[in-house]
Amino acid sequence: MNLGAKIGGFAHSTGEGGVSPYQLENNGDLIWEIGAGYFDCRTKIGLFCEEAFAATASHENIRMVEIKLSQGAKPGHGGILPATKNTTEIADIRGVEPYTTALSLSVHSAFATPVEMMVFLQKLRDLSGGKSTGFKLCVGRPSEFISLCQAMIRTGIRPVYITVDGA
């Protein structure tokens, strides 16, 4: 897919499973999607790790960083990678133990409020050397999006882009 994106002159998203060597090998542009599992940028217990994030974000072909809040296919639900599918290769990419169930919860541990999310977004921007940062969400209730807009006004921190996934 990365080669096709490079040939086509567009970027493709990593999905929330981390950045794989296959996505890096053709030097096409990537959008690194970071879900609540913090795959490829997590501590051993699953919390966000600044050092791991900065190391992965330093790849030249990672052009954008996207915080995944929710997606239309399963709004309000996290993701589960069953232990039987979590091979050594996948576990290495995600930064988890092989053959264990890997969870990406429906909420982030790095922030709990819209204001904290904006501060986290700025942290990602700073740690990535200024790369474009944004977020992806499925708008379930307009009030949730309005809260994010109010946090942007309050903090002065704004995403470079917002991806709205269908409901």
User: What tens digit of pLDDT does each residue of 12-63 get?
Assistant: 999 888 899 889 999 999 999 999 999 999 998 999 999 999 999 999 999 9
Q: Please report where in the chains the tokens 């900065």 appear, as a residue.
A: 54
Q: Please report where in the chains the tokens 């599918």 appear, as a residue.
A: 85
Rounded CA-CA distance 144/164 in Å is 13
Q: How many domains does the chain have?
A: 1
Rounded CA-CA distance 50/39 in Å is 12
Closest residue by Cα to residue 133 from 18, 17, 32: 32
Residue 74 has pLDDT above 60, yes or no: no
Residue 73 has pLDDT above 60, yes or no: no
pLDDT at position 77: 56
Q: Which domain holds residue 11?
A: 2-165
